[in-house]
Amino acid sequence: MPRLLALLLLSLGGLAAAEPRPLIIAHRGASGYLPEHTLAAKALAYGQGADFLEQDVVLSKDGVPVIFHDTHIDTTTDVAKKFPGRQRADGRFYALDFSVAELKQLNVTERFNPKTGKAAFPKRFPVGVGSFQVVTLEEEIQFIQALNRSTGRNVGLYPELKAPAWHRQEGRDLSATVLPLLRKYGYDAKDSACYLQCFEYAEIKRLRGELGWSGKLIMLLGGKGKGPGETDFTYLQTDAGLAELAQLVDGIGPPISSYVAGKTPAERQVTDLAARARKAGLKSHPYTLRADELPKCVTSVDELLSALFTEAKVDGLFTDFPDLCIKR
């Protein structure tokens, strides 16, 4: 009996010592199954076991943070039908030109091309089916916290500040509006279940400096070249760039192709970016695993997960299909 007990304790100790699996971050919710950034998509992702739910944040005309992936809203709503003539000179409809009361009149739908009406992902939830409403950031925070209370879990937020420089050009300060809301609900500490992310390096510096953000922060990165605000994505993925970022942020969010690349499965290569980021003290949370849009260098979701989790050893992963990643 003592020997069996010792073996059991040893086994339990081994389980406790096992490395935690990478975080599963629901990209715009379970957007592979329901229209993105709807509470229905967030609820499904929550039920599928996601660790974090993503919120892309822009401002409405009356200065309220609302959840849209883009500053324009004509690819995921019926705004062109409900408010004809309210587009800008470029032909696009922008959240910033509509009050929350007006945005609440819209029906959110599966992403589509506003010129052709065709779905961005033809095999997903049908365009125009169902009744889904625009959600404010505060409504979503309250929704997630209510689910955490009823389930006993602690699923976190992963908000992205969308185009803060553009908002400032329009006379609005997105970051200065969002941060007080996150503080109000207790997401401003390093141990809070919240990662705040942005593609603009200048804004990342502003968040840590001028705006005094002390919570977890992620620098989003494109693959190569320069991004918004002349952010040099290529440099920031070098050892020197990672060391520089480590003074400001807790992790990086590059595309999957920065970790697993190749034109065919035979040519697939796993890079050392996650290892170099970890050496600098940074987490790696790449985006976005889509079961219906896999990289050419893999033949299945499991193959991609193996390359990311086992070979590259990333710390988290954005996905439109949380259930397929949780069960791995």
DSSP-H helix ranges across 51-173 = 79-82, 100-103, 137-151, 164-169
Determine whether 69 is an active site residue: yes
Question: Which residue in 37, 69, 72, 167 is the catalytic one?
Answer: 69
Those residues whose C-beta lies under 8 Å from the C-beta of residue 184, and which sit 6 or more positions away, are none
Start-end of H helices in 160-319: 164-169, 174-184, 201-208, 233-236, 239-245, 273-279, 301-305
CA distance 221 to 241: 12
**Which residue type does 168 have?**
R
- Give helix 39-48 / helix 137-151 axis angle, nearest 10°: 30
DSSP character string of 277-298: HHHTT-EE--B-B-TTS--TT-
Q: Catalytic: which of 27, 37, 72, 167?
A: 27
CA distance 268 to 304: 10
Cis peptide before 288 (omega within 30 of 0): yes
Residue 99 is inside which H or E element, if any? none
User: Contact at 8 Å (CB) between 42 and 144?
Assistant: yes
Hey, is 42 helix, strand or coil? Answer: helix
Q: What is the DSSP letter of 307?
A: I
CA distance 155 to 148: 7
Residues serving a catalytic function are 27, 69
